[in-house]
């Protein structure tokens, strides 16, 4: 069965990441594995949050307003360096995709993704799906040349 690995850090983008991962999992008929790489002192706090997210797998009503079918899946809590653990789990589970969120650095000149996501992209054995942290973007027009003349459709 195809596995979609979903590393979560319980930031603002996490519900969007889990929702998109559930959508893809449902479409391709695979299984979704929520992975939280945690620190020893945060285990209890993060465990509660992970249980909340498991609703995406079991199809709880609050996380699934459109009443979509529940997806097959699992949740993991591991200790260690996030990027390394995510890559190891992706290899072990033979993940088809890794679904992660981007950080909210829209108006800065630096990279659009955080350090963990950058390391995961560099070492990933499979494609990485990045879900943006923001839902609305300022409408931007295409360059003038396109508006004048599409070359080939």
Partner 1 sequence: MEFILAPVDLREGTARVVDEAIKLAQRVEAHLIFLHVVDRPKRAAKTQRCAARIAAAEETAERQLLELKASALQRGVNAHSLRIAGNPVAEIVYQAKKTNAMCIVMGARQHGRLYELAIGSTLNAVLKRVSCPVVVVPIGRAILGTRAETSLARNP
Q: Which of 11, 12, 28, 42 binds partner 1 (CB under 8 A)?
A: 28
* Alpha-carbon dihedral 52, 54, 55, 59, rounded to 10 degrees: 180
Contact 28, 2 (CB under 8 A): yes
Tell me the closest approach of the beta carbon of residue 39 to partner 1, in angstroms. 27
Contact 94, 124 (CB under 8 A): no
Does 67 interact with partner 1 (rule: CB under 8 A)?
A: no
Contact 90, 56 (CB under 8 A): no
Q: Which stretch binds partner 1 (CB under 8 A): 40-48, 72-80, 86-94, 143-151?
A: 143-151
Does 115 interact with partner 1 (rule: CB under 8 A)?
A: no
Contact 26, 17 (CB under 8 A): no
Q: Which of 79, 92, 94, 146 binds partner 1 (CB under 8 A)?
A: 146
The residues binding partner 1 (CB under 8 A) are 20, 24, 27-28, 97, 99, 102, 105-106, 111-113, 121-124, 127-132, 134-137, 139-146, 150-153
């Amino acid at each position: 069965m195809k596995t979609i690995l979903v590393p979560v850090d319980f930031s603002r983008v996490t519900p969007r990441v889990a929702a998109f991962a559930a959508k893809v999992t449902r479409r391709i008929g695979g299984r979704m594995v929520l992975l939280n790489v945690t620190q020893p002192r945060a285990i209890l706090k993060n465990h509660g949050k992970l249980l909340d997210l498991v609703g995406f797998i079991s199809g709880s009503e609050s996380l699934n307003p459109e009443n979509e079918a529940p997806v097959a899946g699992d949740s993991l809590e591991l200790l260690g360096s996030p990027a390394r653990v995510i890559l190891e789990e992706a290899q072990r589970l033979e993940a088809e995709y890794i679904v992660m969120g981007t950080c909210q650095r829209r108006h800065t000149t630096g990279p659009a993704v955080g350090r963990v996501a950058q390391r995961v992209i560099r070492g990933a054995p499979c494609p990485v799906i990045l879900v943006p942290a923001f839902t609305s973007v300022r409408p931007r027009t295409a360059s003038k040349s396109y508006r004048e003349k599409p070359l080939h459709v």
